[in-house]
């Protein structure tokens, strides 16, 4: 049975996989990790096992794997997963990548100490956000850490849903089993605005 389309797929009129079959890279596929996650690696902030939700072609998962933690990256786009696996092999890094739905993570049958989200949360509409938070809860235990980078409400109106700080705090509240430790202004580099798009970088802890 085919999976239901996500709100982003319905709005854009194309599948996530189609984004990786254009002549040019997907706008978010810059071929290197975002600076916010590089800083986490430098501060030894990754603990394994680690889940990279919406991993695309895998750059942040490979960054984490280079620090020695066990990594699983998941994405709906089969083409992206194939490329992530190829990158891991080329770089000699032990990282696992598989096709899976971030809204149905419980099906993985695994739990994680760290979760990375680079530009996934802001693709969801409000009902999907609630499902996503519940999905993350199903694969994390007390003390797990989520690092989340998303477009902020200062971002230009160029794509997915910009996120207000209050929306982050509402989505990951104590009732949902999470605590927002910090939310800081940041940037997301893209292939078309390399100087960066205004973003939030949040550190969120599982209660």
Q: Which of 24-28, 31-35, 143-147, 178-182 has the lowest mean pLDDT?
A: 24-28
Is position 65 within any domain? yes
Closest CA to 93 of 52, 50, 62, 48: 62
Of 21-30, 56-65, 89-98, the one with minimum mean pLDDT is 21-30
φ, ψ for residue 13 (rounded to 5)? 75, 20
Tell me which DSSP letter residue 17 carries. G
Q: Which of 33, 48, 6 is nearest to 186 (CA)?
A: 33
pLDDT score of 12: 77
The parent domain of residue 98 ranges over 7-206
Within a domain: 121: yes
Q: Per DSSP, what are the bridge partners of residue 203? A: 147, 182
Cis-peptide into 125, omega within 30 deg: no
Task: Please give the tally of structural domains in the chain.
Answer: 1
- Strand duo 197-206 + 140-151: pairing: antiparallel
Q: Is 156 inside a domain boundary? A: yes
Q: What is the pLDDT of residue 31?
A: 94
How many Å apart are CA 168 and CA 21, to the nearest integer? 32
Contact at 8 Å (CB) between 160 and 153? no
Are the C-beta atoms of residues 149 and 199 closer than 8 Å to each other? yes
Q: Would you state the structure tokens that stand for residue 71, as one six-digit string?
A: 């990594």
pLDDT at 1 over 70: no
pTM: 0.95
Q: How far is residue 45's CA from residue 41's CA, in Å, rounded to a whole number?
A: 6
Answer yes or no: is 105 within a domain: yes
1 belongs to a structural domain:
no
Q: Is 97 domain-assigned? A: yes
Region for residue 119 given its phi and psi (left: phi exceeds 0; alpha: psi -120 to 50; beta: otherwise): left
**CATH number of residue 126's parent domain:** 3.40.50.150
Residue 2 forms part of a structural domain: no
Q: Residue 39 pLDDT more than 90?
A: yes
Q: How many CB atoms lie within 10 A of CB 121?
A: 29
Beta bridge partners of 73: 52, 97
Res 15 pLDDT > 90: no
At 193-202, the pLDDT tens digits run: 878 999 999 9
Q: Which residues contact 181 (CB under 8 A, 6 or more apart)?
A: 202, 203, 204, 205
Query: How many CB atoms are located within 10 Å of the residue 196 CB?
Result: 14
Q: Is the pLDDT of residue 78 over 80?
A: yes
158 assigned to some structural domain: yes
The angle formed by the CA atoms of residues 155, 157 and 163, to the nearest 5 degrees, is 50
């Amino acid at each position: 049975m085919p999976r239901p389309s996500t709100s982003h797929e319905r709005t854009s009129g194309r599948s996530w996989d189609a984004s990786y079959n254009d002549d040019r890279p997907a706008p978010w596929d810059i071929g290197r990790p975002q600076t916010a996650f590089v800083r986490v690696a430098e501060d030894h902030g990754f603990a394994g096992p680690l889940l990279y939700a919406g991993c695309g072609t895998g750059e942040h998962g490979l960054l984490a794997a280079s620090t020695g933690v066990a990594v699983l990256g998941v994405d709906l786009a089969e083409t992206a997963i194939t490329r992530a696996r190829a990158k891991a092999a080329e770089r000699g890094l032990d990282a696992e990548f598989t096709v899976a739905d971030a809204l149905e993570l419980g099906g993985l049958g695994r739990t994680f100490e760290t979760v990375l989200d680079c530009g996934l949360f802001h693709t969801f509409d409000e009902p999907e956000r609630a499902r996503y938070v519940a999905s993350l809860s199903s694969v994390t235990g007390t003390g797990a850490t989520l690092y989340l980078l998303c477009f902020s409400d200062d971002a230009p109106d160029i794509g997915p849903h910009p996120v207000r700080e209050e929306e982050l705090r509402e989505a990951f509240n104590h009732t949902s089993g999470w605590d927002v430790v910090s939310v800081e202004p940041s940037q997301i580099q893209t292939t078309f605005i390399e100087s960066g798009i205004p973003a939030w970088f949040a550190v969120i802890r599982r209660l």
